[in-house]
Amino acid sequence: MSQKRPQRPLLTPLPEWFPRGAALLRDPTLNKGTAFSLRERDALGLRGLLPPHVITQEDQVNRVLENFRRLESDLSRYILLEALHDRNEALFFRVITENPDEMMPVIYTPTVGLACQQFGHIYRRPRGMFISAADRGRMVEVMRNWPYRDARMIVVTDGERILGLGDLGANGMGIPIGKLALYTACAGLHPRHCLPVMLDYGTNNEALLEDPLYIGLRQKRLSGSALDELVDEFVEAAQQSFPGIVIQFEDFANHNAFRLLRNYRDKICCFNDDIQGTASVTVAGIFSALRVTGKRMSEQTFLSLGAGEAATGIADLLVAAMMDDGLDEAAARGRCWMVDSKGLVVAGRRDLAEHKRPYAHPHAAVGNFLGAVRALEPTALIGVGATPQAFDQDVIEAMSRLNERPIIFALSNPTSKAECTAEQAYAWSGGRALFASGSPFDPVELAGRRYVPRQGNNSYIFPGVGLGVVTVQSSRVTDAMFMVAARTLADSVSEQDLAQGSLYPALSRVREVSAQIAVAVAEIAFRDDFACIDRPGDLHELMLRQMYDGSYVSFVP
């Protein structure tokens, strides 16, 4: 049972605008349900609108958990939690913050993928902002409809590349909602500072266009200059409506993601989590794995299955890490290889997208992944191509012949897209694999030893980065911030973690780690003159003071 926390006064006296009676119970940002005290019920017109017994928040948490655990499917659990979020925001965050191992796989990967696929069919109540191509020319007016003027973090998607599931159109709104819930749960960013945005300019998913319950625009996607003009208007409207707000681009397709990041990263405070956040958490896992192997970063050879946003972002940050370890840029790039749908990415190919060219090295063509493993003899495999079971027994056994401790990162999600399972990686390597995944896997018992794999989940990185950037009002988010976040995360992994096969800390420590990452990010912001506040005496204390924990406040002294 969670420890009881004292209620704190919020506003005394309450302002005239403060809702009373049924209106208060309908406001999820203020509602406490049966936890309203008798004094609050008298003062706020709640007598008779609630059962007479006052329930503590701790007992409310237990009630939610009882109902959550009674349900048989994760989608049903997702719906229960979203209904709670719509009814009582503080209780929602208290539940997920205190039970991260149980709740995070439901509110985010892997369940959020199914929730997005079914979004129009499980839709209950609007959350966030839906900004569409029909709003062209009036986005500032639309964004000013958002009721909370202190928004500081936007997560925006266009729904074209949701996880490994492809184009889900406006159904992709589940991703910004889930990401921002993690900002609060994992780093304590206040819910009122969080704004989910669905940028809807159509979908090319025919099944959605024919679905009578689809919630988005029923048209083919815009592209080219028409798309760029809409995104540009959105970015300008966001900055005008919420000056200095951070924009996180999420689940845009490769052909747009790199261009949009390049267009805006030096103009506004923004980043792309699929490119930069995934890179940071992956490099952190590599740092942890090298503590086990005793090898240097500059000695590694990396082979990625996939050559899109995640693979390129990871490779770029690995290059920076190898340069920190003494290699020049050309030598570092030469140690990063990619395989796409046509085989090994090599210099002789003529069909290469711009983002792949820095990693297209001179080499004979290789048509399949196992062939690439045999030809390049990598020390680490990084799966980010959403190709399920691509790390098959032949691949893992080949890596195990080449390396005493092969590094196997099966990072594609949801679970159905994983390149291999934890059990397969350990079994096929004789227990020698250093494994991380994009979706959660249960501990594995093998030959009398228990392995505890952990997710290389971006939720270890982006919440702490966001907390640091927002708190010091940084005007930019830089690659240096993601590198220091990776190092900070790796430093938080204990020897006990490594001994059981865990390359990341337990999720129960995610708030502690996020505060440390926020401090490290803030240090970079001050060092590089991006911070817009005076430097405080104690950055760690500043971060802790900012962190929302879902405890109720008292409205009546």
Residues 295 and 321 in one domain: yes
Two tokens, residue 530: 């991006």
Do 157 and 254 lie in one domain? The reply is: yes
Claim to verify: residue 251 and residue 282 sit in the same structural domain: no
Active site residue 220: no
End residue of a domain, out of 228, 247, 268: 268
218 and 160 in a single domain? The answer is yes
Q: What does the angle CA 231 – CA 164 – CA 413 come to, to the nearest 5 degrees?
A: 120
Instruction: State the pLDDT at residue 164.
Output: 85
How do strand 129-132 and strand 194-200 relate by DSSP bridges? parallel
| Whether residues 49 and 135 fall in one domain | no
Report the phi/psi class of residue 219: left, alpha or beta, with left for phi > 0 and alpha for psi in -120 to 50: beta
Q: Do 235 and 307 share a structural domain?
A: no
Q: Residues 183, 59: one domain?
A: no
As a whole number of angstroms, the distance between CA 168 and CA 65 comes to 31
Q: Is residue 320 part of a domain?
A: yes
**385 and 316 both lie in a single domain:** yes
- Is residue 140 domain-shared with residue 258, that is, in the same domain? yes
pLDDT tens figures, 106-128: 999 899 999 999 999 999 999 99
Q: Which residues does 304 contact at the CB level (< 8 Å), separation at least 6?
A: 311, 314, 315, 336, 337, 338, 339, 381, 382, 383, 384, 385
Nearest CA among 111, 284, 252 for reference residue 181: 111
The residues, any chain, with a CB within 8 Å of residue 280's CB and separated by 6 or more, are 317, 458, 461, 465, 482, 483, 485, 486, 489
- H or E element: which one contains 153? strand 153-157
**Three-state SS at 202:** coil
Closest CA to 280 of 411, 165, 378, 157: 411
Q: For residue 189, tell me if it sits in a domain.
A: yes
Measured in degrees and rounded to the nearest 5, phi and psi for residue 338 equal -135, 150
**Annotated catalytic residue: which of 4, 32, 78, 108?**
108
| pLDDT of amino acid 388 | 95
Q: Where are the alpha helices (DSSP H) in 11-152?
A: 21-25, 38-43, 57-70, 74-87, 89-98, 100-107, 111-117, 119-122, 139-143
Last residue of a domain, one of 268, 293, 326: 268
- Residue 453 CA to residue 544 CA, distance in Å, equals 29
Task: Tell me the CB-side half-sphere exposure of residue 300, using CA atoms within 13 A.
Answer: 30
Supply the CATH number for residue 402's domain: 3.40.50.720
Catalytic residue among 179, 214, 359, 460: 179
Segments forming the whole domain that contains residue 307: 276-459
Active-site residue flag, 295? no
Residue 2 lies in a domain: no
Same-domain status, 347 and 446: yes
pLDDT for 7 equals: 46
Amino acid at 91: L
CATH value at residue 92: 1.20.1370.30
Report yes or no on 539 lying in a domain.
no
**CATH number for the domain that contains residue 219:** 3.40.50.10380
Unique residue bearing structure tokens 């007598």:
47
Domain final residue, candidates 405, 438, 459? 459
Indicate whether 134 and 93 sit together in one domain.
Answer: no
pLDDT score of 12: 57
Tens of pLDDT, residue by residue over 323-332, are 999 999 999 9
Give how many domains the chain has, as a whole number: 3
Terminal alpha carbon distance of the chain: 27
- Asked if the structure places residue 500 within a domain, the reply is no
Q: Is residue 477 part of a domain?
A: no
Tokens at 115, concatenated:
């929730």
The pLDDT profile of the chain, 557 residues, written as one tens digit per residue, is 344 444 454 555 788 889 999 999 999 999 999 999 999 999 999 999 999 999 999 999 999 999 999 999 999 999 999 999 999 999 999 999 999 999 999 999 899 999 999 999 999 999 999 999 999 999 999 999 999 999 999 999 999 999 889 999 999 999 999 999 999 999 999 999 999 999 999 999 999 999 999 999 999 999 999 999 999 999 999 999 999 999 999 999 998 999 999 999 999 999 999 999 999 999 999 999 999 999 999 999 999 999 999 999 999 999 999 999 999 999 999 999 999 999 999 999 988 999 999 999 999 999 999 999 999 999 999 999 999 999 999 999 999 999 999 999 999 988 899 999 999 999 999 999 999 999 899 999 999 999 999 999 999 999 999 999 999 999 999 999 999 999 999 999 999 999 999 999 999 999 999 999 999 999 999 999 999 999 999 999 999 999 999 999 999 87
In a domain, 498, yes or no: no
Alpha-carbon distance values, 204 to 169, 172, 208, 210, 274 (Å): 8, 13, 8, 11, 21
Same structural domain, 139 and 69: no
Q: Is there a domain that residue 419 lies in?
A: yes
